[in-house]
Amino acid sequence: MAAMQSGERRTTLADVAAEAGVSVALASIVMRGASGAGAATRARVLEVAQRLGYQPDSRARLLRSGRSRLIGVVFDVRHPFHTDLLTGLYDAAGAVGYELTLSAVTPRRDERTAIDGLLQDRCEALVLFSPRTKVADLGVLAARMPVVAMMRPVRQRDVDVVRTDDARGSELAVDHLVSLGHRRIVHVDGGTMPGSSERRQGYVTAMTRHDLNEYIRIYPGGPGEGDGARAAEEMRNDPPSAVAMFNDLSATGLLDVLRGHGHRVPGDISVVGYDDSSFSRLAHIDLTTVAQDVDALAGGAVRRAVARIEGTDVEHREVVIEPRLVVRGTSASPTGESGPA
């Protein structure tokens, strides 16, 4: 019952070379697909490698070649959007011949630990999802290797930034509600969360643009369900006709209290979330929301990381991606008709 595999040594390039009757160097050439090997030999070596179950040792390979073609990614297991983004990142990195090495932030594993883990892995650039690390520390890190911060504006000349235009996202939400015929549109903000001030500002900008200054009303909120619920209670004695929320989670909290109080959504009040979280598309929630462009974000991050690694000059330090409105069932015209699309 004990492990049977512990005894046998892993098969190495030397084993393959010996078995095929060639030098280690030539075996290496064949395995890498480099030029400089005859067709017959190439076939023979490949056959032997296959037969012996040879797997190259990336550690040795990278140790020697210096380059690792590895991009380190720090993500947070608690954020569903991060895993969506991982999908895009794998695609984008694969397309330009880079690999990803992942390190997770969890409730009991902080960002510092996650980053340190990656540093030992000799990756050539770091992509950080919504980093909470202080700007100064990011600067120290960026002095050592290219660093791309995502979903967070960072004022540090060595740190690249790839993010969604959050102000624009709020504007899209307001524009949508206005186009449905709403005027009394309020906003529940995200408190001290990163991105909160941009989204708040976008709301104000759009309201002003539509000449609705008199209706501008901002409730203090936060990222959680409870924050949305609290805001819903607060607006009870003066209900608006539509609400633009800081994010999807707080939107569900608001929705719940609103409906509990007998308001029909979207009949009486329209609600727009932000993030297009996976649960927002559940039939049960069916939330109109602002989506971040995953592929554009991922592509931007990889392009930027690779440009820095390979020393290509880049135009702007910040890459700002356009958000997109996803119309679902929580928004309609104030008369009760369903919205366009």
Partner DNA sequence: CCATCCCACTAGAACGTTCTAGAGTTTCCT
Partner DNA sequence: AGGAAACTCTAGAACGTTCTAGTGGGATGG
Q: Is 97 in the site for a copy of itself (CB under 8 A)?
A: no
By the 8 A CB rule, do 4 and 22 touch? Answer: no
Which of 23, 36, 279, 337 lies at the binding interface for a copy of itself (CB under 8 A)? 279
Give the Cα separation of 174 and 161 in Å (integer): 26
Q: Is 96 in the site for a copy of itself (CB under 8 A)?
A: no
- Residue listed under structure tokens 């690390």: 133
Of 240, 236, 171, 162, which is closest to residue 199 (Cα–Cα)?
Answer: 171
Give the Cα separation of 332 and 129 in Å (integer): 34
Rg of the chain over Cα atoms, rounded to whole angstroms, equals 26
Of 192, 139, 129, 189, which is closest to residue 164 (Cα–Cα)?
Answer: 129
Helix (H, G, I), strand (E, B) or coil at 61: helix
Cβ atoms within 10 Å of 89's Cβ, excluding its own: 28
Nearest CB to DNA, comparing residues 61 and 303: 61
Which of 119, 204, 218, 327 lies at the binding interface for a copy of itself (CB under 8 A)? 119
Which of 32, 51, 67, 78 lies at the binding interface for a copy of itself (CB under 8 A)? 78
Of 75, 105, 88, 130, which is closest to residue 247 (Cα–Cα)?
Answer: 130
- What string marks each residue from 132 to 171 as x (binds DNA by CB under 7 A) or -? ----------------------------------------
Interface with DNA by CB under 7 A: which range of 5-13, 201-209, 224-232, 313-321? Answer: 5-13
Binder of residue 80, out of DNA, a copy of itself, none (CB less than 5 to 8 A by kind): a copy of itself
Binder of residue 32, out of a copy of itself, DNA, none (CB less than 5 to 8 A by kind): DNA
Q: Is 290 in the site for DNA (CB under 7 A)?
A: no
DSSP type of residue 9: P
Q: Is 136 in the site for a copy of itself (CB under 8 A)?
A: no
Of 316, 309, 294, 302, which is closest to residue 73 (Cα–Cα)?
Answer: 302
Which of 6, 35, 237, 335 lies at the binding interface for a copy of itself (CB under 8 A)? 6
Nearest CB to a copy of itself, comparing residues 208 and 312: 312
Residue 46 CB, shortest distance to DNA, in Å, is: 12
- Burial state string for 269-306 with b = 16 or more CB within 10 A and e = fewer than 16: bbbbbbbbbeebbeeebebbbbbbebebbbbbbbbbbb
Phi first, then psi, for residue 326 (nearest 5°) are -115, 110
Q: Is 10 in the site for DNA (CB under 7 A)?
A: yes
Interface with DNA by CB under 7 A: which range of 9-17, 175-183, 230-238, 256-264? Answer: 9-17
Nearest CB to DNA, comparing residues 9 and 108: 9
- Which residues make Cβ contacts (< 8 Å) with residue 255, sequence separation at least 6? 228, 265, 271, 285, 287, 330
DSSP type of residue 338: B
- Residue listed under structure tokens 């609103």: 258
Q: Is 14 in the site for a copy of itself (CB under 8 A)?
A: no
Say if strands 289-291 and 324-326 run parallel, antiparallel, or are unpaired: antiparallel
Interface with DNA by CB under 7 A: which range of 32-40, 72-80, 226-234, 252-260? Answer: 32-40
Which of 1, 2, 3, 39 lies at the binding interface for DNA (CB under 7 A)? 39
Give the Cα separation of 206 and 226 in Å (integer): 27
Phi first, then psi, for residue 271 (nearest 5°) are -135, 135
Residue 44 CB, shortest distance to DNA, in Å, is: 9
> Which residues contact DNA (rule: CB under 7 A)?
9-10, 12-14, 21-26, 28-29, 31-32, 34-42, 54-57, 60-61, 63-67
> Which residues contact a copy of itself (rule: CB under 8 A)?
1-6, 53, 55-60, 62-63, 77-78, 80, 83-84, 86-87, 90-91, 94, 99, 101-104, 106-109, 117, 119-122, 142-146, 158, 225, 229, 249, 252-253, 255-256, 278-279, 282-285, 308-309, 311, 313-314
